Amino acid sequence: MTSPENKTDVKPDTKKDPDKEKRKIKSDKKMREIMTAYYIEAKTPKEQTGKKIAWITSGGPVEPLQVMDVIPIYPENYGAMIGASKMGVELCEKSEEMGYSSDLCSYARADIASSTVNGGPIGGLPEPDMLICCNNICGTVLKWYEVQARYYNVPLFILDTPICHTEFNSDMKRYVVTQIQEYISFLEKICGKPFDYDRMNEVGALSIRGQALWQEILDTTMNRPAPMTCFDAFFHLAMIVTLRGTQTAVDYYESLLAEMKERIAEGIGMLPHEKYRLVWDNLPIWYRLRWLSNKFTDRSACLVADTYTSGWCSSMKYLDENDFLGSMAEMYTRIFLNSGTDIMADNIIKMVEKYEADGVVFHSNRSCKPYSLGQYDMQKLIQKKVGIPTLMIEADMVDERMFSESQVETRIDAFIEMLK
């Protein structure tokens, strides 16, 4: 996930290169403004906003929070901001002093430490009134939110979405549907007001519209040259994650989509020379975005798609426009990360075909076991089914200590050779 801070490693050019200027995405500025306003509201004292704050996992059901006028805050988004601001190591070390193993997820470590010292780029997140944890992305969030529930002494709601190794069955569906009702009762109790089902329909429609627009934006890279890369998607993703179900996200994505279409019409690609097209798997390496982007650009390799940012519209097909609340259980349970390794491999293969990719770059991310374990099998399946080269980068999304620049560069070079 991303934020205004994600591009802090982008140094302003002293001499403006007209070619570079032409390729820049103009909507970036608007995005920064919206995200800044979002965090300013969230950090405004609650007495002034009159709104409660919920911390929620990145794959969690945010729409009911919008209905209840609760401000959703995403510690994972903050983890990304901390990583991109290169503040991860300091906070990870702090969490290790607190007794947390250095092998644990670096988002969790950074967030847990940040709570105690008001750390990170915006001096800590606003304190939660409740915690909403959906384990469709991992088991780690459960443990992480338990830690925060003890620390802040606030209610914790867990949406337990059974992993769909090979199937999503009727027992699972019944269980998650019931929990959605429990979630609403939980919110009604904490907010002290009834749930507005009419408003839910409006928010649901905006969520679906936002997801559809996001997919359309990601699909613009089917064009050659691609008007954007996955590094841009990492940045613009923040909106579908944090403001899903709002008019703000819909309006912004409409303007971003229009800009992408314009770029296509004018033949403007993100890369000056697009020779190879690649798919990225796993979370970004937040503290090396610029570096990695340059490495690939210099080698005329364009990362046209990724499994990560498309995750927020990967299960849109299970949503029923006329019954958002009724269908959200299935949508939230069947996201690609909550499925079997072979289903995840198929997802990549479909992307390779759709975006006509020449290779796949895997980030083997120490912080994220459900995303990373199984990648070796995915490599083999891709080799077998589509016969294109793959690259494995060993790193971590936030903890820079796990990154070896020279090793990664050598591997990228060897990989590009295989594409030739």
Query: By the criterion CB under 8 A, which residues form the site for other proteins?
Result: 98-101, 103-105, 108, 135, 138-140, 142-144, 146-147, 149-150, 156, 158, 160, 162-163, 165-166, 169, 171-172, 174-175, 178-179, 182, 340-342, 364, 366, 369-370, 372-377, 394
CB of 374 to other proteins, least distance (A): 5
Q: Which residues of 15-52 are buried (b: 16+ CB within 10 A; e: fewer)?
A: eeeeeeeebebebbeebbebbeebbeebbeeeeeeebb
Query: Which helix (H) or strand (E) covers residue 249, if one does?
Result: helix 247-266
Phi, psi of 301 (to 5 degrees): -105, 125
CB count within 10 Å of CB 108 equals 25
CA 316 centroid distance within chain: 15
CB of 391 to other proteins, least distance (A): 15
Which residues lie closer than 8 Å to 44 by C-beta, 6 or more apart? none
CB count within 10 Å of CB 362 equals 23
Closer CB to other proteins, residue 119 or residue 269?
119
CB of 240 to other proteins, least distance (A): 24
Closer CB to other proteins, residue 151 or residue 197?
151
CB of 139 to other proteins, least distance (A): 5
Closer CB to other proteins, residue 132 or residue 172?
172
Phi, psi of 360 (to 5 degrees): -130, 135
Dist CA 39 CA 50 (whole Å): 15
CB of 144 to other proteins, least distance (A): 7
CB of 225 to other proteins, least distance (A): 34
Dist CA 137 CA 141 (whole Å): 8
Closer CB to other proteins, residue 243 or residue 397?
397
Dist CA 372 CA 133 (whole Å): 21
CB 164 within 8 A of CB 136: no
Closer CB to other proteins, residue 3 or residue 135?
135
CB of 98 to other proteins, least distance (A): 6
Residue 176 identity? V
Closer CB to other proteins, residue 369 or residue 385?
369
Closer CB to other proteins, residue 215 or residue 364?
364
DSSP 8-state class, residue 164: B
DSSP 8-state class, residue 5: G
Closer CB to other proteins, residue 273 or residue 384?
384
Place of tokens 């895997």: 362
CB of 394 to other proteins, least distance (A): 8
CB of 273 to other proteins, least distance (A): 34
Sheet of 390-395: strand order equals 301-306, 276-281, 359-365, 390-395
CB of 105 to other proteins, least distance (A): 7
DSSP structure string for 259-280:
HHHHHHHHT--SSSS--EEEEE
DSSP structure string for 76-132:
HHHHHHHHHTT-HHHHHHHHHHTT--TTS-HHHHHHHHHHHHT-TTTTSPPPPSEEE
CB 279 within 8 A of CB 330: no
Three-state DSSP at 16 gives: coil
Closer CB to other proteins, residue 322 or residue 404?
404
Closer CB to other proteins, residue 97 or residue 266?
97
Three-state DSSP at 339 gives: strand
Closer CB to other proteins, residue 16 or residue 380?
380
CB of 107 to other proteins, least distance (A): 13
